[in-house]
Structure 1
Amino acid sequence: MIEKVIDAVQSFFVANLNKQGSVIGVKKDGEIWRVQIEVAEDVEYMRKRARDDLMAIYEVGVGLNFQVTDFERKAMRPRDNALNT
């Protein structure tokens, strides 16, 4: 079951946002799965200044039919910095 949720989120990000990501957390909240995925943000401003890529953490809702219902960016950090939670 969790594998299908992870696949749904990763496929959604590739198909709709053209971003590869790594799932870093999955939990079930009632009838919705809550998934955290970390993706590299393509920020032209940072690249022009030879800065590291920014990594974003998104929280994604997935319904029982494995369709993404919502997503929201929760945090951003430079690629080489650990996220403090």
Structure 2
Amino acid sequence: MEIKEIMNQVADFFNQHVAPLHKITSVEMNDQEDQEGWKVIAEVIEEKEYMKKYAKDEMLGTYEVLLNNEKEVISFTRRDVRYRSAIGQEM
């Protein structure tokens, strides 16, 4: 299944290069003419050890991830940071 492959690619990329993936909230085809591929919205737990040390709520970063037609991550951008207990808002 193609979506499952895309989700696995994003999870592997984030776990290796950014931070442990919390969850993927959106997978859709990228409909921009100049950039064919996939757009994924993912949530990552930011600075987990720092937050534990100071007894603060964990922070979640929301990232927009773009993949090409070969299902390779070609870019990612953090769009939002919020406390895990805060109600999230979709972009």
- How far off its partner does 1:61 sit? 0.3
Instruction: Establish whether residue 7 from structure 1 lines up as the match of residue 12 from structure 2.
Output: no
Structure 2: which 5+ runs fail to align? none
The CA deviation at 1:20 is: 2.5
For 2:43, the equivalent position in structure 1 comes to 38
**Mapped partners of 1:75, 1:18: distance in 2:** 15
TM-score, reference length from structure 1: 0.87
CA drift at 1:71:
0.1
In 2, are the aligned partners of 1:13 and 1:21 still within 8 Å (CA)?
no
Conserved in 1, the CA contact under 8 Å of 2:19 and 2:45? Answer: no
Equivalent in 72, 79, 82 of residue 77 of structure 1: 82
Unaligned runs of 5+ in 1: none
Post-superposition Cα deviations, 1:38-70, rounded to whole Å, max 9, x if no partner, equal 1100162x4443210101100000111111000
TM-score by length of 2: 0.82
- How far apart in 1 are the matches of 2:70 and 2:22? 21
Q: Are the aligned partners of 1:8 and 1:68 in contact in 2 as well (CA < 8 Å)? A: yes
Q: Percent of aligned pairs with the same residue?
A: 27
